[in-house]
Structure 1
Amino acid sequence: MSLSNPNLEGYSIVREFWLKYYNPSKQTFIAPKKCSGCYNDDRFVIWAVSVAAQAVVDGARIYPELRPLIPNAIRIFQKYKNQHIKGYSAAENSGNDRDIYYDDDAQVASAFVTAYEVTGEKYYLDQGRELVRFLMGGWNDNPNAKTKGGVSWHVTNHYLNACTTAEVAKVCLQISKFLPQEAHYYVEFAAKCVDWLIAVLQDPGDKLIKDGVQDTSTNINDTKWTYNLGTTLSASSHLYFITKDKKWKKIADELANAGINRGVFFYDRDYDNSKRYWRDSSYFVQLLIEGLADYLLYVGEEDNGDLPQRIHEEIKRHLVMFYEFMRDPKDGLYIQSFEPHLTYKEVYETKYKAQFGDRKGWGLKDEDKDGDQPQKCLMGCAAAARVFFQGARVVPQI
């Protein structure tokens, strides 16, 4: 069995993770056994819930039979909402908890906006608008900060990170087309975010985006994750589509080229060039694939030579690898690893050694195991669905 239709694979994953994790009586996702992404024995943090809800909406855009799942998926968010400041906490709460992360909430907001786009239900747009306004309030305007600007990571921790700033910019642009009277407000804020990301966190050499910096410091955390580049690429590409300002195209071109440059940090460079791959977990990689897909949607083939074709080939190669190495043939669900040696033992012995040799030993990431046995979780399954749905925007058939 091989991968031929990425959308259909995404659909199958959504169907299976819904049956495995959604509990109708409790109206939320429940872990059969504590796993990665649980904040107690069986409930998931809102980050995992947001990715799962987004996967449901992504699937419903293609497969109408998934639309009845959208209200149940989106309704779960209300269990996490702080009713006073309108943000969503990491854990279910009574309406007062302030353990609120702006990057998580940006993904919640994106799920609201895309749910509106797919269903036309104004409630989702209203909830999205309320949350986007909250997110914009996370901008760091402290005049005494050593590093100014950027969107904070947490309501009480002013770590100014790339994913938060880029994801807020991204959802501002998403919602702008549905609120034309306010659109300029969101577009201007998104432009401010991308300007800050490029000025403060982009490496001028490899063009990747560094992780972030505390507002009390100027020492930047220079780890370069796939999703930081992917979300910045989504935002800059969308800005170019809206404004037609070549400034944003130049930024997007550089980011897109960097995202598929097999010599950069987030590729595993222990192999020859032909075998290198993105080595982040799937919940990060899904946002890089979305960024590359957004680039082709919003910028397209405009003066870009062979870049669109190279993006197509790189996404195709990764979809096939992910399917071959991370899919459990028993239930069709996925662990979170994107590294072919960190997989099921039988897959390592049969497929990895045949394709990669024995350069790296077998193992499982801590987030993908229970003791010495592989263990799946909601985040891994939802991220896998999004890998295929977003990848299918570029590679609909293999």
Structure 2
Amino acid sequence: MTIDLNQQGMETLRLTWNTFWDKHCHGFRNKNKSDGSYTDDGKYTVWPLSVLAQAVVDAMRIYPQDAHQFVEPVFRVFDRYYSPKYHAYCASENFDGNNDVYFDDNAQVASAFLTAFEVTGNRHYLDKGAEVVRFLLTGWYTSEPYGVRWHVEKDGSNTCTTAECGIAALRLERHMDPNDSYARTLVSFASDCARWVFDRMQDQDDKLIRDGYVPDKEHNECGNGYRIDGMKWTYNQGTPLTLTSMLYCKTGQDWFKEKAEQLALAVTDTNTTIFDRDTPNHDARFYRDSLYFYQLLAEGFADLHLFIGQRASQEVLDRTRREAIRVVKYMNRYMRNNETGLYFQTFEIFRISEQGQREYHQLTGTDKKYEPSEGERCHDNHVPVCDRKLTHSLISCASAARIYFQTARLSPSVD
């Protein structure tokens, strides 16, 4: 059966909106006790909302008449999180003294506002995006560990934050006069972000990008009061892919193209640790990760094709397109709940349900134990995880919509 990826993305967005939108509070509520909220009445943190807002923008590019109804309501919700103190957005709804402000959250919010301007022409979104980008620039460490700090009151810098801040800066710059001094500052900042990621965070053995610097006076393995967190998530690969692809398009510097191609080959190599290598069948190896991280890698694949295109090697183009299609088919087949039309979040389907464990065994030939994931179930501390009802989170469903839209940029339909 042929799947129209844009149509599937739009349908997923509609179902997600209908599931989580609360017309009484004119916002989104966690009505099914799933992941992502921070209060008993189901208020969400700003991160899931930013992913949903970006999914709405994705939909606007393809279905402007259908998706327009979602734009104003989703972006209005951000007002509740706005901090006049920081001119940025808090993780939770703002209140006096709320200093829980993350730079990676705000980079995603900035990108959502700036891309909303592109699809609507509403300068309010451009102005808000520009305001947040000015805040992002304040996060750069001018001494060790360098990079962009991840939180206003917590020490350490990481890949995703630094790369996403660079991306947001470039998204603003393309709406400015390139000769403007601030526009040049934005490009320089984005370049510094990219070079920090690859100089500091790239593993020279497998060429994948590690997570970031964590303060650690005891171990101090880097000689600067920090140690490297070696975890390799898909979003730590996707955001640098987008950043270096955009920078190559902007500057023409081969270094950015070379790094993008190198990373693209690494992240599509099923021998690396980012994949589930418990099966010897390479065709059955998928990312050991979640949809809400992978959606940024899906975007990175598409951005490489957009900003570098035929200037990239044919091997890079073929492998990234093939991997993106392979993942979206897996997501549609194994991570979609046929009863609800919504999506679970983990690629490790043996952790979703006993049926998922059987499907995993059939697909991979690997007899893995069923290990129910708390993230896929209603939150209820009085009931064992294995007995809790399956449910869906806002961030995983919004991410699924984004993955369909982003992959459609490479292949509008798949069989």
Which TM-score applies when normalising by structure 2?
Answer: 0.91
Q: Secondary structure at the match of 1:219?
A: strand
Please name the residue that 1:128 is paired with.
129
**Inter-CA distance 387–303: structure 2 relative to 1 (3 Å threshold):** closer
Please name the residue that 1:43 is paired with.
43
Distance between the aligned counterparts of 1:235 and 1:149, measured in 2?
18
Please name the residue that 1:395 is paired with.
411
Distance between the aligned counterparts of 1:303 and 1:193, measured in 2?
22
1:83 and 1:96 in contact (8 A); partners too: no
Please name the residue that 2:83 is paired with.
82
Distance between the aligned counterparts of 2:183 and 2:315, measured in 1?
33
1:172 and 1:186 in contact (8 A); partners too: yes
Q: Secondary structure at the match of 2:205?
A: coil
Residue type of the alignment partner of 2:50? S
Distance between the aligned counterparts of 1:365 and 1:357, measured in 2?
21
Please name the residue that 2:203 is paired with.
203
Q: Is residue 2:170 matched to residue 1:162?
A: no
Distance between the aligned counterparts of 2:23 and 2:96, measured in 1?
22
Aligned ranges 1:203-282 → 2 under 5 Å: 203-214=203-214, 217-271=225-279, 272-282=281-291
Please name the residue that 2:98 is paired with.
97
2:159 and 2:212 in contact (8 A); partners too: yes
Distance between the aligned counterparts of 2:349 and 2:214, measured in 1?
34
Please name the residue that 2:393 is paired with.
377
After superposition, give the CA deviation of every residue in 1:6-55 in whole Å (9 maximum; x if it has no partner).
11111111101111111123121011133211111211111111111111
Instruction: Tell me the CA shift for residue 96 of structure 1.
Output: 4.3
Q: Is residue 2:307 matched to residue 1:306?
A: no
Aligned ranges 1:101-180 → 2 under 5 Å: 101-141=102-142, 143=143, 147-180=144-177
Distance between the aligned counterparts of 1:162 and 1:88, measured in 2?
20
Q: Is residue 2:177 matched to residue 1:190?
A: no
Q: Is residue 2:296 matched to residue 1:295?
A: no
Aligned CA-pair RMSD? 1.5
Instruction: Tell me the CA shift for residue 303 of structure 1.
Output: 4.7
2:145 and 2:213 in contact (8 A); partners too: no
Please name the residue that 1:364 is paired with.
372
Distance between the aligned counterparts of 1:89 and 1:97, measured in 2?
7
Instruction: Tell me the CA shift for residue 191 of structure 1.
Output: 0.1
Please name the residue that 2:32 is paired with.
33
Please name the residue that 1:15 is paired with.
14
Residue type of the alignment partner of 1:115? A
**Inter-CA distance 249–229: structure 2 relative to 1 (3 Å threshold):** same
Please name the residue that 2:221 is paired with.
none
Q: Secondary structure at the match of 2:362?
A: helix
Q: Secondary structure at the match of 1:363?
A: coil
Residue type of the alignment partner of 2:16? F
Unaligned runs of at least 5 residues, structure 2: 216-223, 379-384
Residue type of the alignment partner of 1:49? L
After superposition, give the CA deviation of every residue in 1:320-362 in whole Å (9 maximum; x if it has no partner).
111111101111100111223223433443x434322352133
Of 169-178 and 359-368, more deviation after overlay is shown by 359-368
Residue type of the alignment partner of 1:244? G
Distance between the aligned counterparts of 2:128 and 2:286, measured in 1?
38
Distance between the aligned counterparts of 2:57 and 2:314, measured in 1?
33
After superposition, give the CA deviation of every residue in 1:172-204 in whole Å (9 maximum; x if it has no partner).
111111122342121110001111111111111
After superposition, give the CA deviation of every residue in 1:257-287 in whole Å (9 maximum; x if it has no partner).
1111111121111112221111111011111
Distance between the aligned counterparts of 2:400 and 2:162, measured in 1?
24
1:83 and 1:95 in contact (8 A); partners too: no
Instruction: Tell me the CA shift for residue 289 of structure 1.
Output: 1.1
Distance between the aligned counterparts of 2:315 and 2:96, measured in 1?
51
**Inter-CA distance 95–385: structure 2 relative to 1 (3 Å threshold):** farther
Of 206-215 and 167-176, more deviation after overlay is shown by 206-215
Of 10-19 and 362-371, more deviation after overlay is shown by 362-371
Number of equivalent positions = 392
1:140 and 1:150 in contact (8 A); partners too: yes
Residue type of the alignment partner of 2:197? L
Residue type of the alignment partner of 2:314? G
**Inter-CA distance 3–36: structure 2 relative to 1 (3 Å threshold):** farther
Residue type of the alignment partner of 2:14? R
Instruction: Tell me the CA shift for residue 375 of structure 1.
Output: 1.5
Q: Secondary structure at the match of 1:153?
A: coil
Residue type of the alignment partner of 2:25? K
Distance between the aligned counterparts of 2:366 and 2:311, measured in 1?
43
After superposition, give the CA deviation of every residue in 1:80-138 in whole Å (9 maximum; x if it has no partner).
11112112111112364110111111111111011001101000000000001101100
Unaligned runs of at least 5 residues, structure 1: none
Instruction: Tell me the CA shift for residue 207 of structure 1.
Output: 1.1
Of 92-101 and 71-80, more deviation after overlay is shown by 92-101
1:82 and 1:96 in contact (8 A); partners too: no
Please name the residue that 2:220 is paired with.
none
1:89 and 1:99 in contact (8 A); partners too: yes
2:10 and 2:401 in contact (8 A); partners too: yes
Q: Secondary structure at the match of 1:214?
A: strand
Q: Secondary structure at the match of 2:157?
A: strand
Percent identical among aligned pairs is 37
